Each structure stands twice: as C-alpha cells, then as structure tokens.
Structure 1
C-alpha cells in the first residue's frame, strides 16, 4: 500500500513539473503589440519571438524564468508560476542601445551593437550598389530595367536593426524594401497576367521635383488552380548551418511548406555538405509523414559543395519533370558555398545552363554572420527565380504560407519595363533603386535577354524622381550642346511619359508588349503611395544618399503613419517601429551604416 502511495505521489510530482505551453501578448508603453520580441527561458536555448500581433507561446515549466528583450526597451524577467497566460508590457530604455541584447539562439559576443566597435567583423557579402543619379532626358530619354519581386533586403535589414547591428550600405536595396509590402492595387481584368497602375505626385522630400509611381499587380491564382508541382528541396546541411537560426528554422519552414502540398504534387529532397545526395526520392505531396521524417533526420556538418548540390537538384527535377506543370528547385542556405563552383561568376555560369530547362528557382536565405546575399541574389536573378531572407518563423509563415502561391508559381517571366520621358515636360529623371536590375535600352526588345519573374498575386512598385522642365536644380550638371543630333523639346502632348512592358508566358519564348502613357497631372498621394515613398526615403537615408534633400527621419515616420491604412497583419506598424528604433538610438548617419 505504501509503495502504491509513493508511486502515486511521485507520479503527481512529475506531472506537476512537466512542461506546459505558456502564452501571452507583449506590448509597449502605449499598449501597442510589439512584434519580434525575443522570449527566452533563462539559462537555456529554448526561445521564440512574438508574432506581428505581439503574441507568443513557449513550452516552459513552473519556476522557469522568461526573459523578454527588445531593442530600445528595458528587458523584463518573469518567474513562472501556475498561470499559463503571461502578458508583459515593456518600458522604453534608450540606454539599452549601448548594452548587450539577448537574441534568440545567438551568442551576444557576435553581435555588432550601435556605438560599439570592438566586436569581430561580419563575413556577410553583398553585391556593390552604385546609386542611380539624375539623367538628362535630352541625352538619355529611355530608362530600362528588369522587375524585381525579391524581398530579402527588408527582412535582412529588420534582423540587423533588431539585433543592433550596423547596416552595410550595399545591403540596402530600396526596391526590395518597397516591394516587401502589400499594396491595394486592382488585379487585371483583361487577358494579361498583371494590371498596370501609374501616378505622379509632388515629392515629399523635395518640392521642386515630382515622384512617379509605376506599379504592377499580378493576377492571384487560387492554390487549387495551380498546376501540379514538381518540387525539389535543395537543403544546405553543411557545418555553417549548425546554429538555431539556421537548420532548425529551415526544418520548421519546410514542414510548413510541405503541409500545403496536394496529392498531385511531388517533392524530392537533395542535401549537400561535403558532397551532395538524395535523402528523399520524388514523393507524393499527400505522403507528408515520409517528407516530415526526412526533414527531421537532417543534421549539419561538413563543408559546402553548393555547386554539386545545384547540379543534382536540377537533375532530379528534370527526371520528374511535369509537362505544363510547376517545376521548381527551392534552395535553402546561408549561401556559404566553399567547395566546387563557389565564386559568383562560377555560380552564375552554372545556373545559366539550367535556365532553359523550364525549371524555376526559389532561393531562401537563413542565418547571420556569414550570410552570402550576393550569391543568392546571383542565383535568383540568373536562374528564373526569386529570393527571400527568412529571419524568423513569422517570416517563414509569410513566404511559405501566406504568399506560398507567389513564391512557387510564376505567372509571367522575363518582365521588363522601359520608360520614355517627354522632354517638353521632364528635364531629368532618377530611378530609385533597381541598380542591380538595370538593362541596356536595346535589351528591351531582345527576347533572349533574361529579366525578372512575376509570381501569383505579386506586386511590383517602381519610383522615379523627376525634375520638371524649366525647374532649376542643383542635381543637374551642364553638358555641351550636341553637334550632330538635336532632340526637340517642343511637344503639344500633355503626356509626362510612356511606359512599356514586355513579358513572356511561363512556358513561352516570345514576348508580349503592353504600352501605357501617363499624363503630367499631379495628384495627391493616396495611402499606398505615401507609404511606399516613406520606405524609399528610409532606404535613401540608410544609404546616406545625396538625394534625400536632408529630409529628417521624422518625415519617414510621418509619411508612414499617414500611409499605414488598415495594416491587417501589422507589417507597416512594424516598419514604423523599426524607424523609431533607429531615430531614438542614433545620433548621426554614421551610426546607421558601415562606410564603404
């Protein structure tokens, strides 16, 4: 009897000490939810982050101490009792910008905090960006570029700001920042896969110039209407992926993707470390147990045979090719290729060979410290693909959950934009961002010239700052009169510009042309235009652009607040919070970015 009693008591004690799910909401001093707050069980590696509604959940035991940390706020420590709901309100603390920051799964000594220079340099790499300047319409009336639906730069910058790191200028890709956000553009109603929206307004940071918005809204294809998918997961399991914000996050992200697959879809998994190999042959999307088990077994170790992995992944994709289907390789890595074809040029040559196979590419970046953005950008641009950076499970849910269709299904490829400016209305123009997407004017009519892909439901926004005819500007430099050619500036047209688009169908090789003029009538900015201009100005400030006209960060916040709109998922509110974080913690522009 005594033995039975002891067993029952012991069992009761064990049950009482078992881990339970603790959840709650983290807010700021104004009771506004805080997304991206790090929640860690003190003394352990168990951690999570709040979502865009400020909510979190974590498995913990009674007596554990939860640590809540967020840049610019005092760290809160809560000892758990019997309550399963723990709500926390964080208080501002500007001094925290000079202190250590607790980050989920990261060794604090590896972080670069604003105002501190004693930490080791990062090994991250970014393609060099030379900012676009104003061009004279008389000598360069055409502006040609490829669309860009990549959003990696914004989530990468968000990670840096939340971690208190300095921001390399070349990591600031303004077009990817602007295009990270959703805009309320109408979808197409004709035979084309995207609708075109244009508008001109006064530039918020310079009353002497005008801001032109050119936007595309891709048609949203319901997931059930997407053709059968042949997917190959190409997963980096090298030693560099052996940290909590890399392989473990990767596993969770790809389980999320797998959960949305249908019976007609199929998935193969290729991994690479010191060598490449197939860990799961093509498997029906309905056999989720087999796919989950293959993902669960992944472990990190060894060098990085990225080139070999890419070749094998495309080989498997070709062997299982679905005619008129959705064939795609999904690469997930920190981009640290160091065995085989490792240089950007070698990777570019390798991926170009695969471009005409009808197999598209999605490149997903993970981790920090040695994140090789330049390689992933090269792969995405040259491989008929797109590129995203996943800094948290919330971002994984966005890229592979909410935007799953757009991430894996292309509705138009090789989409190019060419703008012709009317010299009677425009003296000069400057394309904001897209520096790594510029094309030669003659490339516009060349169907063999590669350009960007547009996915289901994707939006693309491009902004031009223009100097109207007759306006004196310090940004314009004199050039000699042309001797052999004289461009007439006389025109009775009220058109400011004409924008032309070329695109190919996903399975096609001949482009389709669309043309649309824009009248010179200046209109008030709507909410979306205000918000896009706020993001663009913030990017210009981070790059220490000469074209900000010394606009303060308060203007960014004012524009973003005016353009916040309904903001159902909280992304715009998060942007405002990030800008305020830098505004409150930086005393000069040099604190924001690393000098070249």
Structure 2
C-alpha cells in the first residue's frame, strides 16, 4: 500500500513538472517581443507570425545598398525594386496599369509608410496673344532639384507627382554648348529656332545664357556656414548619412583662406564648429561625421543662428553663404512657407547668399525648400545619391557657391506683325509682372560661375493655323501701333542683372528674326526640347501635343549623348518609361487642326 501511495505521489509530481514546462514555454512565446524595424515598435504574440512572411516597404528598401542596385535588381515584370529574392504576399502588392508594383500595408489601406511630400501647385502657362500681351517677363532659375527628384521617383517605381515636375529645372539640369561670354559681360546670350516637335503649327525658340567660368584658384575666399538638419526625420540612410558624405566631399575642396562654421538644428540649434580654416579638413570632417539624428525640427532657430555666424565671419568681396541641408520638414518655431520666406527675405539684405540641398523621400517639403532658395538669393538642388552630391558640390562647385550675377530678369518683347502668340515653357513659379523688370528692388534669380540657363518658347507666327484667344481692343490694333509694318524682327530679348556686390541693374538686349531659323534642329534645341517633352508627358500637360516616348527617343538618336554621362542617363530614363508605356501617344492639342 505504501509503494502504491509513493507511485501516485511521483506520478503527480511528474504531471506538475510537465504542466509547468508547457505553460512556461507558451508564456515565453506569448511574451516574446519582436522588434519591428520599420516602425520601432514591438510586435507580440500572434502578430509575430506575419513578420517572417511579409515585410513592410521600408524593410524591403533596407535590402537595397544604393540607387544603382535598385535599378539593376528591379523586377522587369512587376517593377518592384530592391526585394532581392524576398517573398512578398501577392495581396500586399498593388500593380498599376504600367506594371509598376507598390507594397501595401493592409492596416493603413495604402502605402506602408505614409507619403507626406509637399509640392507647390503649378498652374501651367497657356498660349497668350501678342496683341494683348506683347511682353513676357520672368526671373531666371538655376535650380535643378526637380529633375533629380523625379529621377528618384522613376527609378523607385513610384508615381511621379505632377507638381514635382518643373520643366525649367529639368531643362537646366543639363549642360549645353553655348558660346563663352564676351569680355566685360557676366554671361553670353544664345538663340536657336526650329520647328516644334510636338506642335506642327508652332516654332520652338531657345534662349540660352552661359555664365563665365571662374578658375578655382582665382575664386574669392569663402565664408560658408553649413546649416544641417539633424532632427529625427533625418534618421534614414538617404538623409543624414548621405548628407554627411556630401559635405565631406565639399570640405576636401576648400583652402586656408576659407572659413567654415557648422550649425545643426533639431529640437534646438547648436553651434558645432565656428570659423574653422578651410584647410583644417580633418577637424571639419570629424565634426560632420560625428553628427547623429534625433528630435523635432526647429529650423527657423537654426536659420537665425547660421546667418548670425555668416555675418560674424563676413568676408568683404568674398563668397558669404549659408548652405542648408534638410528634408524641409520644419515643425518647431516658424514653420509656414510664408513666414519662412519673410525670414529669408530679411536675412538676404545683409549680403549672405543661400543654397538649399534637399535630402530624402516620403516627407520632403519641396515647396518650403524651393521658397527658401528662391527668396534667399540662392539655388536649390535635390541630392538623391553620392553621384548627385559630387555633381552639385564638386563638379559644379563654382556655380553652386560663386555668384557672378544676381537679380537676373528676362523680358521678351514680341512683334505682333510677325508673331501672333507665344507660350513660355516652365518658369510658372518665376513669373514677374511687366513693371517688375525695371524695378531694382524686385528680387530675382542668381547665376553662378559656369551656370547655363535655358528657356524655351513655343511661337505662333502670324500665318500659323493654330487659333489664339484674343481680346479686341479699340486703341491697340496692329494698324494703329507705329513701327511694326517694316520690321522683320520677331522679338527682342531684354535682360537686366546686377553685379553680386551692386544694387543698380544693367541692361543687355538681343534682337531675333527669321534668319536664325534652321529646318534641321540644332543639338542644343534637340536635347532641351526632348527634356521638355518628357516633362510634359510626366505631368500630363494639356500642351503635350503629339509627344510620345518613342518620339523623344527618335529625336535623341540624332545627337551624340554618350560624351555626357548625365545626358546619357536621361536617354536611359526615357527608355525605362517607354518600356512601361510602349503605346503611349497623346491626341493633338484642342484647337490645333
């Protein structure tokens, strides 16, 4: 009896140990926390089951080492880049009409990461009557951010935001073979005229400015403040780490006469380095490389401090500039576009120029960065790769940092006897009132050393079959306006500019007639028109006419782009879009026969 009792006791103890073992294991499983790298939160219990089979969009992107890897590994069937063999559930992928795939998050019913990018709305220029509007006035624009930004969207297989497509910035991204300026002039004026590729009833006019080059050894000394955004929104591989590498590259091209200060801003501004010599490369590079991201974005406080340092180390006759690097997501202090613009307008009066470098995706505030650069006597570039950083901060360092002419305005006067209508392609955000042209207090764009500025006009000659809206005027008919009857001139290009250290403008004028017309389109105009046509397709312009990707590629095949890596890449970009849109062809513009 005693043995039997001991047997049941041992059996009971064994059962208890088994129960404890089972509940202990399940308890560990229930309480095991799995970090979600995309959100920084913890996923527990049953939620962890899906982690091994479905990755968020940001997790997939983490498999990509650089932009070239994305391009090479993009799946030709779905267009989903960077998955590198990782399995993704079919119901997590949305494929659009062009076969481009987007990873979805069921809980958000959309993109796994919310896209909060902001762009200023573009109201596209229309054709206008020369009789009613004989003058077309605008500020030059040497910004290039739009092209590199939409290039990023295309290579990442994202839909292109129409308001991100600024045609003038796309065209001005590239170099053109313009003549050098004559002695005493800061830039040359170049013109080309041929038939418009997408509108058989129009001519296409190119106006190109080429600024003088400055030998780096002859450049004035620089007083530069690096104003770097290190807020939490910059804590991504294509933001702070890329920004650090970009500025280290710039640092390697400075000399002992330059002065460098570094201001960072997150929850508050901080002076990291003040007045260092340009040849103290290790000191400057170390300060940059030691930066980490975190906190909110008190951008306005950083701007105030950066300009304060720029003024403290001001070099008379030198290049005094603040270089702002950010994703534009300012959320503490002055945050609105209007208030930031007024702040920059106030600061520019002290002779300090501003360059803006945009970084990152999904939350970039393009509208704020463009406004800051446009109103701060500066330029705006978007950095999507180390190659782009090298282009902006090394190859085009003179244009980025050294201004040769400021407040540059163009005013084109058309002869109604020869031209009945025109349309300026792009520059919608840079239009000026007629009276602004001669107003030296009105701010306009800057041109840096070696910069090229290109503007395109569609022109309707007097005998064009395309109708143009026109208001009949009692006192302003062609017959009543003297001086036109015997003039063969089509138009006159008037340009006002100021020397970098002056406040009074100078005037240049160039007249254009039919003599510059060529049936065979010149190389500069061929490439510029191809970029314009590409941009009009991307933003689905109502003036795209007969544009198609095939037409663009056909035109580009007539010129040699292989000697220019950036133009050659553009050809590849068009080919990529053509593959997704093989039959993409638009009907003629309304009103064109």
TM-score by length of 2: 0.82
Give the Å deviation of 1:549.
1.5
Q: Is the 8 A contact 2:101 2:157 kept in 1?
A: no
1:530 aligns with 2:526: yes
Q: Is the 8 A contact 1:273 1:304 kept in 2?
A: yes
Match of 1:573 in 2: 568
1:344 aligns with 2:337: yes
1:285 to 270, 278, 295: 278
Give the Å deviation of 1:560.
2.3
Match of 1:584 in 2: 579
1:264 aligns with 2:250: no
1:358-388 Cα shifts (integer Å, max 9, x gaps):
1000000000010111001000000000000
Match of 1:308 in 2: 301
Q: Is the 8 A contact 1:335 1:373 kept in 2?
A: yes
Match of 2:191 in 1: 198
Structure 1 or 2, whichever has the larger Rg, is 2
Give the Å deviation of 1:284.
0.1
Higher share in helix: 2
1:65-98 Cα shifts (integer Å, max 9, x gaps):
xxx442xx666xxxxxxxxxxxxxxxxx64132x
Q: Is the 8 A contact 1:261 1:285 kept in 2?
A: yes
Return the alpha-carbon distance in structure 1 between the equivalents of residues 254 and 111 of structure 2. Answer: 44
Q: Is the 8 A contact 1:447 1:509 kept in 2?
A: yes
Match of 2:49 in 1: none
1:391-442 Cα shifts (integer Å, max 9, x gaps):
0000000000100111000000000000000111101000000000000010
Match of 2:210 in 1: 217
1:420 to 399, 413, 424: 413
Q: Is the 8 A contact 1:112 1:119 kept in 2?
A: no
SS of 1:192's equivalent?
coil
Return the alpha-carbon distance in structure 2 between the equivalents of residues 96 and 151 of structure 1. Answer: 30
Match of 2:82 in 1: 101
SS of 1:365's equivalent?
strand
Match of 2:222 in 1: 229
Return the alpha-carbon distance in structure 2 between the equivalents of residues 134 and 190 of structure 1. Answer: 37
1:557 to 553, 557, 567: 553
1:34-113 aligned at under 5 Å gives the runs 47-50=65-68, 68-70=69-71, 94-97=76-79, 99-102=80-83
Give the Å deviation of 1:517.
0.1
2:509 to 506, 515, 523: 515
Give the Å deviation of 1:306.
0.3
Closer, same or farther: CA 465–43 of 1 in aligned 2, 3 Å: closer
Match of 2:487 in 1: 493
Return the alpha-carbon distance in structure 1 between the equivalents of residues 95 and 300 of structure 2. Answer: 31
Return the alpha-carbon distance in structure 2 between the equivalents of residues 352 and 551 of structure 1. Answer: 40
Closer, same or farther: CA 478–450 of 1 in aligned 2, 3 Å: closer
1:218-254 Cα shifts (integer Å, max 9, x gaps):
0000111111100000000000000000000000000
SS of 1:354's equivalent?
helix
Give the Å deviation of 1:573.
1.5
Q: Which runs of 5+ in 2 are unaligned?
A: 1-59, 105-109, 586-593
1:110-130 Cα shifts (integer Å, max 9, x gaps):
999736584255111111100
1:52-201 aligned at under 5 Å gives the runs 68-70=69-71, 94-97=76-79, 99-102=80-83, 114=100, 116=102, 118-119=110-111, 121-201=114-194
SS of 2:521's equivalent?
coil
Return the alpha-carbon distance in structure 2 between the equivalents of residues 43 and 518 of structure 1. Answer: 52
Q: Is the 8 A contact 2:124 2:428 kept in 1?
A: yes
Q: Is the 8 A contact 2:207 2:455 kept in 1?
A: yes
Closer, same or farther: CA 418–313 of 1 in aligned 2, 3 Å: same
SS of 1:95's equivalent?
coil
Closer, same or farther: CA 74–317 of 1 in aligned 2, 3 Å: closer
- Root mean square deviation of aligned Cα: 2.4
Give the Å deviation of 1:508.
0.3
1:299 aligns with 2:280: no
Q: Is the 8 A contact 1:111 1:164 kept in 2?
A: no
Tell me the matched-pair count. Answer: 507
1:276-331 Cα shifts (integer Å, max 9, x gaps):
01001110001111101101110000000000000100000000000111100000
Q: Is the 8 A contact 1:501 1:515 kept in 2?
A: yes
Q: Which runs of 5+ in 1 are unaligned?
A: 1-41, 51-67, 76-92, 591-596
1:377 aligns with 2:358: no
1:363 aligns with 2:356: yes
Q: Is the 8 A contact 1:430 1:464 kept in 2?
A: yes
Return the alpha-carbon distance in structure 1 between the equivalents of residues 200 and 62 of structure 2. Answer: 54
Closer, same or farther: CA 294–110 of 1 in aligned 2, 3 Å: farther
Give the Å deviation of 1:485.
3.2
Give the Å deviation of 1:198.
1.0
Return the alpha-carbon distance in structure 1 between the equivalents of residues 226 and 300 of structure 2. Answer: 15
Return the alpha-carbon distance in structure 2 between the equivalents of residues 206 and 197 of structure 1. Answer: 23
SS of 2:477's equivalent?
coil
Q: Is the 8 A contact 1:531 1:564 kept in 2?
A: no
Match of 1:324 in 2: 317
1:377-526 aligned at under 5 Å gives the runs 377-474=370-467, 476-479=468-471, 481-488=472-479, 490-521=484-515, 522-523=517-518, 524-526=520-522
Return the alpha-carbon distance in structure 2 between the equivalents of residues 500 and 123 of structure 1. Answer: 41
Return the alpha-carbon distance in structure 2 between the equivalents of residues 401 and 471 of structure 1. Answer: 46
Q: Which has the higher mean CA deviation after the structures are superposed, 544-553 or 164-173?
A: 544-553
Closer, same or farther: CA 397–311 of 1 in aligned 2, 3 Å: same
Q: Is the 8 A contact 2:192 2:522 kept in 1?
A: no
Return the alpha-carbon distance in structure 2 between the equivalents of residues 380 and 316 of structure 1. Answer: 19
Q: Is the 8 A contact 2:328 2:366 kept in 1?
A: yes
